[in-house]
């Protein structure tokens, strides 16, 4: 079936057709299993399930029927053998990364990634004896040159936060897998599975902050990992087991309700974003617009090849006048909400240098083209003329 049908019915319909799943009381919407623990049938079952938590339900920290259903949906959309639901995007990222690296390893990651992901590599893992090299992952040759004998992980964020750089996943995967023992993890949050499926392009694992486009309504904090079963099993046990970044049943249930409209939300978001990007690109008070759908974007051709169905709803723009101009715009928008998240049905605006990427030094930010006058926009599904008018009136006040 096509994607919008699948978003509504996988995995319930597929499982019902094969006899693998019957909802309790034939509920149209799956019930919420709001319990911390599960009664086990007998001693032997208890012993078995405590040692094989992926094959039944014992304790909600290991899994729940709601998370199990969500994980099957994510695996289906990512074309993966398995998936794992977690309590946040960083929970997913840190769990996936920690399942790969160990003391003495070396990691290669992009020069432009989410600020807290950078902090994980640059401040947390370095304390555990892991070294790193930052490279421009839009240039696969730079990735090749950074690989060392002890490299265990290449981590790519595409589209990258906040400059929307697009890295060629297929080209990087060919380089990574020409070396033995290196894992490629891709953060595809900005694209969602609707626009990009990294596993099809050679990634070993894909991570998302499901808080964003997968939920779409700003009601849940969640993360997901998808990959082959062996990798997901390793993420679950011992890493999820010990780190405890478990997604609660109600949040999993809410997330699945949001995912039902992912397709129509992304279609409208992509349409709106292209119009807003073109408006900003022609505005006299804007120096530069970072949106992969624009021909002026340096990685536009990679985006055309790699993304399907649109270029997403995220963009950044450099406002002339620096921080003072940013303050005027952000204090005077009426439709856009000043908020740090993204991917909601309503439009958001933030200042990346002082919000999502404040842990980086000014020199590091500027080297990554994250400038003081830069705002990041998450375009929603409002009438696009209202979004353009709102930005126009705020820019006029500079």
Q: Exposed, middle or buried by CB within 10 Å (0-12, 13-18, 19+), for 28?
A: exposed
114 is an active site residue: yes
Give one word for 234, left, alpha or beta, with left for phi > 0 and alpha for psi -120 to 50.
Answer: alpha
- Are 334 and 389 a contacting pair, CB within 8 Å? no
Check 212, 231, 234, 265 and give the catalytic one: 212
| Known active-site residue 61 | yes
Give catalytic status of residue 291 as yes or no. Answer: no
CA angle 138, 142, 145 (to 5 degrees): 160
Judge if the upstream peptide bond of residue 159 is cis by omega within 30 degrees of 0: yes
Count other C-beta atoms under 10 Å from residue 20's C-beta. 10
Name the catalytic one among 187, 204, 248, 390. Answer: 187
Strands 151-157 and 106-110: parallel
The residue annotated as part of the active site, out of 73, 105, 114, 365, is: 114
Task: Examine residue 103 and say whether the peptide bond preceding it is cis (omega within 30 degrees of 0).
Answer: no
From the list 271, 265, 258, the residue with the least C-alpha distance to 194 is 265
Q: How many CB atoms sit inside 10 A of residue 56's CB? A: 17
Inter-residue contact 293 to 273 (CB < 8 Å): yes
Query: Residues 6 or more apart from 309 whose CB is under 8 A from it?
Result: 194, 195, 266, 267, 270
Q: Exactly one of 16, 61, 304, 327 is catalytic; which is it?
A: 61
Name the residues annotated as catalytic.
Answer: 61, 114, 187, 212
């Amino acid at each position: 079936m096509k994607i919008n049908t699948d978003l509504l019915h996988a995995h319930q319909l597929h499982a019902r057709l094969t006899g693998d799943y019957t909802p309790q009381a034939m509920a149209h919407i799956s019930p919420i299993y709001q319990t911390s623990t599960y009664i086990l049938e007998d001693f032997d079952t208890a012993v078995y399930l405590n040692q094989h938590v992926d094959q039944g339900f014992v304790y909600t920290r290991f899994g729940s029927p709601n998370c199990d259903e969500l994980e099957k949906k994510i695996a289906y959309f990512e074309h993966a053998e398995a998936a794992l639901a977690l309590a946040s995007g960083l929970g997913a990222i840190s769990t996936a990364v920690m399942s790969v690296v160990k003391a003495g390893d070396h990691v290669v990651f992009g020069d432009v990634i989410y600020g807290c992901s950078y902090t994980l590599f640059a401040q947390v893992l370095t304390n555990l004896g892991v070294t790193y090299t930052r490279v421009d992952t839009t240039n696969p040759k730079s990735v090749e040159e950074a690989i060392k004998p002890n490299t265990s992980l290449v981590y790519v964020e595409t589209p990258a936060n906040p400059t929307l750089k697009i890295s060629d996943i297929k080209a990087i995967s060919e380089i990574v897998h020409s070396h033995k023992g290196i894992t490629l993890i891709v953060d595809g949050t900005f694209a969602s599975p609707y626009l990009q499926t990294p596993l099809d392009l050679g990634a070993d694992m894909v991570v998302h902050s499901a808080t964003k486009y997968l939920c779409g309504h700003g009601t849940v904090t969640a993360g997901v990992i998808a990959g082959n079963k062996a990798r997901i099993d390793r993420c679950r046990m011992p890493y999820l087991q010990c780190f405890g970044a478990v997604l609660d049943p109600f949040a999993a249930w809410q997330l699945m309700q949001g995912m039902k409209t992912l397709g129509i939300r992304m279609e409208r978001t992509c349409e709106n974003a292209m119009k807003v990007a073109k408006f900003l690109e022609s505005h006299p008070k804007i120096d530069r617009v970072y949106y992969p759908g624009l021909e002026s974007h340096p990685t536009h051709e990679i985006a055309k090849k790699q993304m399907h169905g649109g270029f997403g709803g995220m963009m950044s723009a450099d406002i002339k006048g620096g921080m003072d101009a940013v303050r005027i715009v952000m204090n005077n928008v009426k439709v856009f909400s000043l908020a740090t998240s993204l991917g909601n049905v309503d439009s958001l605006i933030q200042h990346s240098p002082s919000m999502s990427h404040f842990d980086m030094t000014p020199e590091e930010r500027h080297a990554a083209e994250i400038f003081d006058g830069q705002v990041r926009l998450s375009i929603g599904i409002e009438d696009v003329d209202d979004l353009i008018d709102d930005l126009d009136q705020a820019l006029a006040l500079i």
